Amino acid sequence: MFQLDFKSGAPICDQIVNGFIKLKALGILKGGDQLPSVRALASKFSVNPNTVQKSYAILEANGIIYSVKGKGSFISDDENAASAVLNSARQDFVAAVRSASELGLTADDMIKLIKETTAKEDNNL
């Protein structure tokens, strides 16, 4: 499971959405896996159940999860879920590039960092 950072300034709802997207992208959650109930997740994170419900609604609208009445919410196994995960990664990357650019990093600096980071990741496999 993922952790929430209450000091980050990022909305809790977004953190929950991104947490499940990341778990799906990493293959930790697979198609058909059941998510915790709204109440259980709200209790675990000590957040309002409405926040969790909103997160689940966003995930469902993006095709990452689906709900079965009386059974709960499940990770989707279709192509929409895979493309939503990649789209989320792209959005995060674009936001990081914009932020780095605003802080003075050049495109060459960022490309060098990307190459260094991916080389380290490749060596850890």
Q: Is residue 5 part of a domain?
A: no
Is residue 82 situated within a structural domain?
Answer: yes
Q: Is 3 domain-assigned?
A: no
DSSP summary character for residue 55: H
Distance CA 76, CA 59 (A): 10
Name 12's Cβ contacts closer than 8 Å, sequence gap at least 6. Answer: 4, 6, 45, 47, 51
Give 25-64 pLDDT, tens digit per residue: 888 999 999 999 999 999 999 999 999 999 999 999 988 9
Q: Domain of 103: which CATH number? A: 1.10.10.10
Contacts of 1 (CB under 8 A, 6+ apart): 19, 23, 44
Tell me the pLDDT tens digit for each residue of 17-26. 989 988 988 8
Structural domains of the chain, count: 1
The tokens for 1 are 């499971």
